[in-house]
Structure 1
Amino acid sequence: MNVIVIGAGIMGTTFATLAKELAPELDITILERLDSPGAGNSWSFNNAGTGHEANCELNYTPVDGEVISVEKALKIHAQFNVAKQFWAYLVRKGAIKEPTSFINQTRHCTLVSEPSIEELKLRFKEMSAHHFFEHMRFSEEFDEIKSWIPYTMDGRPHHEKMAATVVETGTDVNFGSLTEQMAEYATKQLGVKVEYGVHVKRVHRNPAGSWLVETQTRGAAVQHRADILFVGAGGGAFPILKKSHLPFARRFTGFPVGGRFLQAEITEEQARQYRAKTYGKA
């Protein structure tokens, strides 16, 4: 059975690796627009690297008055734990030589100011009651918060009302490094094929259920045929689905997100002092 995967980022590479592990007879080809795996949204400076564990992301726990919903946070955290199990399997197999090359323990914090302190307190109460988050801590004490995230608190007046939660067992995931190593294993050991410099223009599904994938490859028009199609193209998945004219594609939507990662020159000692990812309220 022939499988086409669009995108050699963390999603496409994970799917290809997992599928080939479970069904070695599959013929899997990944089509990637860029020149290397994990070079788009999966690269370390193109995402926050939290793994979306829900330790610190307030948008996973919506509040309605005095009621907070933690169901989404629990589901996302459980999914991340499954991902970690798969990565551990790859490490045990020797597919990834050194786990610290892509995953490291890092403090996850949420920091809010006075208008949102009660909301964070409620979030802490509900989440810490579940064993996923039983080690979460909450504080309104300036010095304690500063001990968690020193540079974030530098320059703030002591009288400013702030609150924070911390989970010491959070992770920093370099999805770019993980994708590179997984792609190397998938191609060299599992027989997955990757074609770079391939821009997918549109996809069609014929009445028999197979797929025709139209691409622009190094300036030439090339067609691929597949029994199974997996679209893991990040933001590029939306125009591909839109052009497919498939009824189920109408159920998908998205919204634009703007952001900027700022980089500062720091010493190794400063980096050791500040191993934390801190989220605020948007």
Structure 2
Amino acid sequence: MALAKRKPNKWPVEAEEVDVALIGGGVLSATIGLILNELQPDWKIVGYERLPKVAKESSNPWNNAGTGHAGLCELNYTKERPDGTMDNAKPVQINEQFQQTRQLWAHLVEKGILGLPETFVNPCPHMSIVTGNDDVEFLRKRWESLRTNPLFAAMEFSDDQEKIREWAPMLVDGRDPQEHIAVTYDPTGTDVDFGSITTQIFNYLDFHGVNVETSKEVTDLKQNTDGTWTLRIVDRGEFGGKKSGEKFVRAKFVFNGSGGWALKMLQKAGIPEVQGYALFPVTGAFMSTDDPSVVEQHKVKVYAKPPVGAPPMSNPHMDARIINGSRSVLFGPYAGIDPRFLKYGSVLDMPKMIRTDNVGAVLNVAKDSIPLIKMLATMIFMTPAQKLAEMRAFAPKASITDWHMIKAGQRAQIIKTDAKGKGGSLEFGTEVVTSADGTLGAVLGASPGASTAVPIVLDVLSRCFPDKIGEWEPRFKEMIPSYGEKLSDNPERAYEVMEHTAKALKLAGPAKTQG
């Protein structure tokens, strides 16, 4: 396949030769690095992370809410059709994908690659909460339309405050007994420490000859005439310090898992497939507490509907967390505006991404997103009293003195130019981008990327190594038993696979579908 027309590579011929180069030290790079190492132990794989340690950006447990996204509680995944029926295609798809990720984790625990399951994943029921007759009816219909699906068979519904108190007392204590509220409750939900998973995988890879160099920033990459890529890598020394020295690496395949900086790297690579893409960065913060009187009352994750016009990542939620064996509770997010594409990025990230091919989409989204931008700006200047009021919509007796503010990770949502190349839209979720010749793969976007890391990686591999997939598929089935299947279409098979995964990871088991 012909290579894209680019400027000739005039960098030095001297370069370290590798088969695979990973850009970024997050959970996606860890996952594809591990799978490729299992499939091709003879390949030389290297990784580069610009920070002093891996898993310090979006994969860090304090930079996300730790939700194993499975569509159990995220109400924005379900759409109500004009005739009043529920469109649940999205939550079912997300759940199918998360099941594959869980299966890989179970396989890695059984092989001793990952440590004790409780070091990275713990049972944590997922709940949705709504108030008011209309939203209660929406939630009831959502539950009724999902409960016959084997992936959601354990989900329960209640609008009885005393029943809700059994599941999550903080939601009811101090609430008006006459207020009409309803919840769904699914015991198969999880709390995930993606930082722990990432670190454990990279530690294993390092022991098996896959070196991930930290404080090393890939600043540019160019394709050679033979289809390989030459990467310029700068030694950052101590983070924030002066850059000291550079080297060049020539790779047959490059995976760009650098989160918010993935677009920057794709633009530097010059592949035509990235034309028309841009990013809309959103920052966030959470209120956090480890006060025993709070954490002992709240051992679930509870999501509400997002405000009208808010991005899905702004769904208000109150999350039980288990990080390094310690319990805490987060509430938020309090979203805001920040031009950086990474938490430790540059204020010039957003202006530098503008190109002639994406400026129309950026302007179109800016015009259409004025209400969203105003909402985000308003959140920046919320007073403590306003923040407390939002929290008390969940926990009526919450006290601001029990909580402190922490800054979350940066999220860069996709802006995509329409087919005519003029307008554009703000897209939520993640998207795989690969070069036509299959030598470069990348992931753009945000949530639920970490939870769906395995199907994302499988997508990248199928696009970039089509001639190897037939050879690799038996190994895929060993690592991911539902590979090539749709569990929601086969209740008995779904129960079998989910039961095995739950036992391996010490999680709540699935329920058998009822009628």
Which TM class, normalised by the smaller chain length?
Answer: over 0.9
1:222 corresponds to 2:218:
no
Q: Map residues 94-243 of structure 1 onto 2, 5 A cutoff.
A: 94-114=112-132, 115-188=134-207, 190-218=208-236, 219=243, 220-243=245-268
Question: For 1:4, which of 12, 21, 41 is the aligned residue?
Answer: 21
Between 1:2-11 and 1:246-255, the stretch displaced more is 246-255
Shift of 1:254: 4.4
Deviations 1:218-246 (A, max 9, x none): 21233221100101111121222233221
1:23-62 aligned within 5 A: 23-62=40-79
- Identical counterparts, % of pairs: 35
Aligned to 1:276: 300
**Residues 246-257 of structure 1 correspond to what in structure 2 (within 5 A)?**
246-250=271-275, 252-257=277-282
**How far, CA to CA, are the matches of 1:81 and 1:34 in structure 2?**
31
Taking only aligned residues, the RMSD between alpha carbons, in angstroms, comes to 1.8
- Decide which moves more: 95-104 or 146-155: 146-155
CA drift of 1:127 comes to 1.4
Shift of the alpha carbon at 1:252?
A: 4.7
Change (3 A) 1:197 1:113: same
Distance 1:75 1:254 in 2: 24
Conserved? CA contact 1:45–1:261, under 8 Å: no
Output the CA distance in 2 between the equivalents of 1:248 and 1:9: 23
User: Highest Rg: 1 or 2?
Assistant: 2
Residue 280 (structure 1) shift:
0.8
Query: What is the alpha-carbon distance in structure 2 between the residues aligned to residue 155 and residue 225 of structure 1?
Result: 62
In 2, Cα distance between the equivalents of 1:198 and 1:68?
A: 48
Match of 1:13 in 2: 30
Aligned partner letter, 2:101: A
More moved, 152-161 vs 164-173: 152-161
Amino acid at match of 1:199: E
The 10-residue stretch of structure 1 (227-236 or 194-203) with the greater mean CA deviation from structure 2: 194-203
The whole-number CA distance in structure 2 between the counterparts of 1:153 and 1:207 is 65
Per-residue CA deviation, residues 146-176 of structure 1 (Å, 9 max, x unaligned), is 2222223333211222111110111111111
Cα distance in 1, alignment partners of residues 173 and 225 from structure 2:
63
Q: CA 1:276 to 1:251, structure 2 compared with 1: closer, same or farther past 3 Å?
A: farther
TM-score (norm 1): 0.93
Post-superposition CA distance 1:6-60 (Å, at most 9, x none): 1111111111011101110111111101111212111111112122111111122
1:254–1:78 Cα change, 3 Å: farther
* Number of matched pairs: 280
1:202-224 CA distance string (max 9 Å, x none)? 32223432112223222123322
How far apart in 2 are the matches of 1:238 and 1:81? 28
Worse-superposed segment, 150-159 or 40-49: 150-159
Match of 2:87 among 69, 73, 89: 69
* Inter-CA distance 191–121: structure 2 relative to 1 (3 Å threshold): same
Question: CA 1:62–1:221 in structure 2 vs 1: closer, same or farther (change >3 Å)?
Answer: farther
Aligned to 2:465: none
Gaps of 5+ in 1: none
- Aligned letter for 2:160? E
Amino acid at match of 1:122: K
The one-letter code matched in structure 1 to 2:97 is Q
The amino acid of 1:7's aligned partner reads: G
| Gapped regions of structure 2 (runs ≥ 5) | 1-17, 237-242, 307-515
User: C-alpha distance in 1, partners of 2:180/2:50?
Assistant: 48
Taking structure 2 as the reference length, the TM-score comes to 0.52
| Structure ranking higher on relative contact order (CA contacts 8 Å, 6+ apart) | 1
Q: 1:129, CA displacement in angstroms?
A: 1.9
